[in-house]
Structure 1
Amino acid sequence: MAWRGPTYRMVDGERIDGVWCHIWRRADFGGEYYVDDLVLYADGSVSCGAKDLPGLQKHLDTGRLALTPPDAPDRPDEESEWRSRWGRPRTPESFLLEVADRVEELNGRPTTARRCWDTAERYAREPSEANRELLRAAYLAVPQHLRIFVLGDMDRQDRPLRILLTDVGVHVDGDGPLVTAEMHEAQLEYFRRGEAALAEAERQRAALHADDPVTAGRATITSHQAVYPRGWPAEPDLFVLRNEFPAPISYDDETYPSVLHGYWALSAADPADRARIGEAPSGREAQEVGSGVVRRDGWTGLRLAVMAGLLRAKFTQHPELSAVLLGTEDARISYTGLSDSRFWLDARDDRGRNWVGRLLELVRSELALAQETRGGQGTQDIQGVHITE
């Protein structure tokens, strides 16, 4: 029952992240069980008719949901608790603790495993009896069937913790080794080494990512494809980011009514086709004409550079449009729609490459750099495109 993701749902325009796993669900008619997807979201809501965590517990208690097929054989008992390499069986109680952990993880908060690690490191630094009891509580808070994974060490599993939590002179788990003071010290050193390694990894990460933003950026801005039967609004807004927006641009010694006109015209091999595309009444009509012409040689390898050049021309030659793009600040731009290929669009099925959105972010950064370095000078160039202040 591994958790898989990501998934999400939208609530009042807000994205609620989630994960899912398989579970056995009893049919309403006939009482037979079938495999279903149990989806869990960061706000604690769940699917399969349970709605929330209390509902999930009720469904597990009544048998409406089951963790294993009802006719599955019981796992045989282990001969030795200490030598066993398997975790305890998942029970409804431990599964509910696991679900609560996933909610914490989805919200970016520490899980029981993380809190256990932190408590173990604290005990290794200050090996007092009080800290040992805190470690015991943290270890027991981890879902029982997941305790062997809590350290992420598949050789030792959770044995260092079990040794530390066993008193000197007592056999671990009743049939394990007799604990000595030296064994306790060896396990404390295990956690000290782990803490030192994590500290070094964090130092290296900080050095490698020293230019990362220190504050959260703006939320993603989505550029939707829209239709304006009465014409484009007079006041510039996010719709000006669209490639079909009518903004005449000069590029490669030619003038095009929009980015779409320029893109499809420049894709054509025949100059006559280029002229026809450039004269189309609208950007979408230019796309329709351009889609049926013979493409120039090597167009697939050229199209990204052409689109980048057209977008630079559009926003450097129209200051009012540049102001809208700069107003998105550092937000990720998701360029969606139905009329373009997934190469250009941000598609929901994760196959969209969102190249228009990514190029808009690039041009925005170039505009910001030019704006900063321009200062009192009257003009500046961005990648060979002349800007007039």
Structure 2
Amino acid sequence: MVWKKPTYRVVDGERIDGVWSHVWVQGHSRYYVDDLFVYADGVIRCGELFDLPGLQRRLEAGRVALSDPERPLPDRPEQTPRWSARYPEPLTHDGFLCEVRDEIEELNGRPTTSDLCREAIRCYQGAPTEANRLLVKDAYLAIPAHRRVFVLGDMDRQDIPLRQLVTDLGKPVGGDGPIATVEMHRQVLEYFNASDRGIQRSRDRLAQLHADDLAAPRAATINLREWLNPPIEPPAELDLFVPRNEFPAPLSYAGETYPTVLHGYWALAVHDRGDHDRIRDSATVFAAHEIGGGCVLRSDWSLARTAVMAALLRAKFTQRPELAEVLRSTADARISYTGYSESPFWTDRGRDEGRNWVGRLLELVRSELSATAIQHLPSDRS
């Protein structure tokens, strides 16, 4: 099945995350496609709420089906030889129930059957004993049969190495394949070890290419909240109100002086020069905002607005060193610029909306302020 997310439901004010997929549901005269939702607390919804045993009963009774019962299943490839088959096993009711359990485990941040199998493989690599091989076998067989071919993430061999390893010595792999031998198990162990070496080489290569992405943790995210009644004059003590667009800090841009970034933004957004001057001279940021929002805007404003905002922020902080120091004091923290007066394009409004462009531009200007300290190339120390 193909699971899609995000989805959630709210219970007593608590958000419970989930996933969903399509199933076929028995109607009065025929089956129809419906959404099956699975949530982290084990609740399942498909028209009504039930749990895993409830899903099992519905599958067994035919009230829920995993494919269209009114259409024949496509012909499957010839299944001989079975030991080297490269296609998933058929999806069964038991396999689907196990898959749903895995989805619930993943939603709760717990290991799935595939995760547990990979952990058992790592234990076997560390100590390739018969006891650890049997642990791999049990973990592999616990994976839903239709998902086993994907567990190793190997598009060429799929899960064939695991089929070889879980076969007891002297037995045919998959029932119709070559006889499992000590040498076969040794080759599988080398396959896993070689795969780990390849992964490590890739990680080392990326670490080299991404050497500028510092491993040290970033400072905690800073939330710049909107001021409902911003002062007209700058406060005596500067704090994290400074980066807000409504902060009273006159700035010069394109031959004009604006009381705040918001004054400049809306004055430059409008089409008519008279409207520009009224916005520029407004007594408060809210007056400037309301006048600007009620005027005819420049026809190209949607294309120009991000660059104009960047230029205004750059002017604000380069012309006022004391304000620049406040911005630089945020170090490398992510800046979340929240509020509802400015549009979602500019603000951070959680997971589902808001592009936080002011926050991003503040981080850019902060970086530029730091870059001004780099005036020369590194000296030759040879």
TM-score higher than 0.5: yes
Whether 2:358 is the aligned partner of 1:356: answer yes
Partner of 1:279: 281
Q: Would the alpha carbon gap of residues 346 and 138 (structure 1) be closer, same or farther in structure 2, given more than 3 Å must change?
A: same
1:175 alignment counterpart: 176
Q: Does 1:37 align with 2:39?
A: no
Alignment deviations for residues 248-283 of structure 1 (CA, whole Å, 9 cap, x no partner): 422225432432221122345664442122134554
Question: Structure 1's 237 and 106: CA in aligned 2 closer, same or farther, altered over 3 A?
Answer: farther
What root-mean-square deviation, in Å, do the aligned CA atoms of Structure 1 and Structure 2 show? 4.4
Query: Shift of the alpha carbon at 1:322?
Result: 8.2
How far 1:197 moved relative to its partner?
1.2
Post-superposition CA distance 1:320-339 (Å, at most 9, x none): 99869967982451546476
Q: SS of 1:87's equivalent?
A: coil
Q: Which residue in the other structure is 1:161 paired with?
A: 162
- Provide the residue aligned with 2:312 in structure 1: 310
The amino acid across from 1:39 in the alignment is F
Matches within 5 A, 1:149-228: 149-207=150-208, 208=210, 211-215=213-217, 218=220, 221=223, 223=225
* Structure 1 counterpart of 2:268: 266
With over 3 angstroms needed to count, the CA separation of the structure-2 counterparts of 1:70 and 1:302, relative to structure 1, is closer
Q: Does the 8 A contact of 1:280 with 1:286 survive in 2? A: yes
Q: Distance in 2 between matches of 1:263 and 1:199?
A: 49
Is 1:330 aligned to residue 333 of structure 2?
A: yes
TM-score, normalised with respect to structure 1: 0.73
1:65 aligned partner: 64
Change in CA separation of 1:2 and 1:38 when aligned onto 2, cut-off 3 Å: same
Aligned-partner Cα distance in 1 for 2:68–2:219: 46
2:186 alignment partner, SS class: helix
Whole-angstrom distance in 2 between the partners of 1:75 and 1:313: 65
- In structure 2, relative to structure 1, the CA distance for the partners of 1:339 and 1:47 (3 Å cut) is farther
| C-alpha separation in 2, matches of 1:205 and 1:126 | 29
TM-score, with structure 2 as normaliser: 0.74
Give, in angstroms, the shift of residue 58 of structure 1: 5.0
Distance in 1 of aligned mates of 2:325 and 2:12:
30
SS at the partner of 1:2? coil
Q: 1:321 to 1:285 in 2, by over 3 A?
A: farther
Distance in structure 1 (CA, Å) of the matches to 2:99 and 2:113: 9
Do 1:249 and 1:313's aligned partners in 2 also have CA atoms closer than 8 Å?
no
Cα displacement string for residues 102-156 of structure 1 (whole angstroms, at most 9, x for unaligned residues): 3343444443223323322432443211111111011012111101111112322
Relative distance call for 1:12 and 1:337 in structure 2 (3 A) is: farther
Identity, % of aligned positions = 47
Q: d(CA) in 1 for partners of 2:171 and 2:284? A: 83
- Describe the SS at the equivalent of 1:277: helix
Q: For this pair of structures, how many residues does the alignment match?
A: 363
Instruction: Find the residue that maps to 2:346 and give its secondary structure.
Output: coil
Which amino acid in structure 2 is aligned with residue 35 of structure 1? V
Gaps of 5+ in 1: 371-379, 382-389
> Aligned AA for 1:69?
D
1:47 is aligned to 45
